Structure 1
Amino acid sequence: MVRFFVVLAAMALIACTPPIDRLAMPRLQSELSLSPLVGSAMVRTVILPTYAELEEVAFETPSGLIAINENVLWADMPDRAVTLNIAQTLANILNTRVGPDPWPFVGLPDVAIDIRIARMLAGADGVFRLTGQYYVGGDGIDFPNSTRAFAITQDMPDQSLQSIAAAQSAALLTLSEQIARSLGR
C-alpha cells in the first residue's frame, strides 16, 4: 500500500512539472569545396569545457561569471551535437567518408581528428568565442601528424538564446572549414 502512494506521489510530481524547452543549433552549410588528401577521416574526440558539456545553455554574465539558463536545454547533448556537426560538415566539404567515433564504416579511417575546446561561450560583450586546438593523426598512410590552435569569434546581435545558438553554429562551421583545409586542397 505504501508503495502505491509513493508511485502515485511521483506521478503527481511529474504531472505538475512544466515541460522543459529545448534549443536546437541551426545547421549551416559551407560554401567551401575541397579535394580530399585522405580517403576517410574520423572525428574521434571532441572535448568541451565543463560548462559547455551541460545540457543547459551557458553564457557569460556582465560580471564575468559563467551562468546557465536552467529553463532551456540544448536539443542534443553538446559533445555529441558538436561531433556530429563537424563530421557532417567535413564530409560535405571534402566529399569523402567522414564519421564520428565509433567509426561507422568497414576498415579503419585514414586519419583521426581530436578536438580540444578550451572556450565555447557567449560573452557578455556580444561576442561568441570558440578557442582550442585540434589534432590530425594518420595511421598507416603517408599523412603528416599535425596540431593547430584555433581562436574563432562570432558577433551576436544580442544575448538571446537564438543568437547564442546561431553564433555557436557559425563558429563551428568556421572551425570545420579550418580543419577541412588541413585535409584537402
Structure 2
Amino acid sequence: MTRTTLSLLALTALVACGSTITRLDAPPAASTLQIPAAVDSVMIRTVSLPTYAAAEEIALETAPGVITSDGDLLAADDPSRAVTLALTQSLDEILNATVGPDPWPFAGLPDVAVDIRISEMLGSAVTGQFRLAGQYYIGGDGIDYPNSSRTFAYTVPMPTPDIPGAVVAQTAAVTQLAEGIARRLAR
C-alpha cells in the first residue's frame, strides 16, 4: 500500500469513528381554524429570534433565568427559517389567501406583509412550560389596509420537561401564533 492509500484509510477510519449528530425536527402542528381573510395575499417576513433560539443548539431553561444547551440535540433546520416556514404553512392552511415567505415567491407584491419579532422562545425544565412571546407588525402597501402591531405571549405545557418536550410544545405555540395572526387578518 502506498503512503497516500494508508493516509486515506486512516482518515476514513477517523471519520467513521466520529460522533453522531442528532437533530430534532419541529414540524408545524395542524390547526382546525378556517378564516376568510380580508386580503388576497400575505407575505411572512423572516422571523427574528433571540440569540439562544436562533442557534443550532436547542436551548432549555434549567434553573430560573439560566438558559443552557449541551450541543447533543440540534435543530433540524435553521431555527429562523423553520419558524418562518411553519408560520407560512399554518397561515396558508387557515386563511383563504395566498401566503408565502420573504422573499415573495410570486409575481407582483403581496397585499400585506407580516413582520414577527420573537423576544422569548424557550422551554423550561423548571416549570414544564414553553413560552413564546414578542410582537408582530402587519403592513399594507398600496391597498387600503391599516398598519397595525400587536404583542403576543403564549404558554404551552411541555409533555416532558426536556428538550424534546420543548420542541413539541414549540410547534403548538407557533400554531397558536399563526391562529392569532390569522384572526387579525380576518374579514
Q: TM-score, normalised by structure 2?
A: 0.91
Q: Residue 29 of structure 1 aligns with which residue?
A: 30
Query: Is the deviation greater in 129-138 or in 8-17?
Result: 8-17
For 2:10 and 2:140, how far apart are their aligned partners in 1? 56
Q: Residue 84 of structure 1 aligns with which residue?
A: 85
Q: Secondary structure at the match of 1:70?
A: coil
For 1:122 and 1:77, how far apart are their aligned partners in 2? 18
Q: Residue 118 of structure 2 aligns with which residue?
A: 117
CA contact (8 A) 1:26 1:165 kept: no
Q: Residue 94 of structure 2 aligns with which residue?
A: 93
Show the 5 A alignment for 1:120-139: 120-123=121-124, 124-139=126-141
Q: How many residues align?
A: 185
Q: Residue 55 of structure 1 aligns with which residue?
A: 56
Which of 123, 126, 144 does residue 142 from structure 1 map onto? 144
Q: Residue 158 of structure 1 aligns with which residue?
A: 160
After the TM superposition, list the runs of 4 or more consecutive aligned residues in structure 1 that deviate by more than 3 angstroms: 1-13
For 2:130 and 2:142, how far apart are their aligned partners in 1? 38
- Alpha-carbon deviation of 1:25? 0.8
- Alpha-carbon deviation of 1:18? 1.9
Q: Where does the alignment leave 5 or more consecutive residues of structure 1 unmatched?
A: none
Q: Where does the alignment leave 5 or more consecutive residues of structure 2 unmatched?
A: none
- Alpha-carbon deviation of 1:161? 2.9
| 1:44 has 2:45 as partner | yes
| 1:15 has 2:16 as partner | yes
Q: TM-score, normalised by structure 1?
A: 0.92
1:33–1:12 distance in 2 versus 1, CA, 3 Å: same
CA RMSD after TM alignment:
1.9
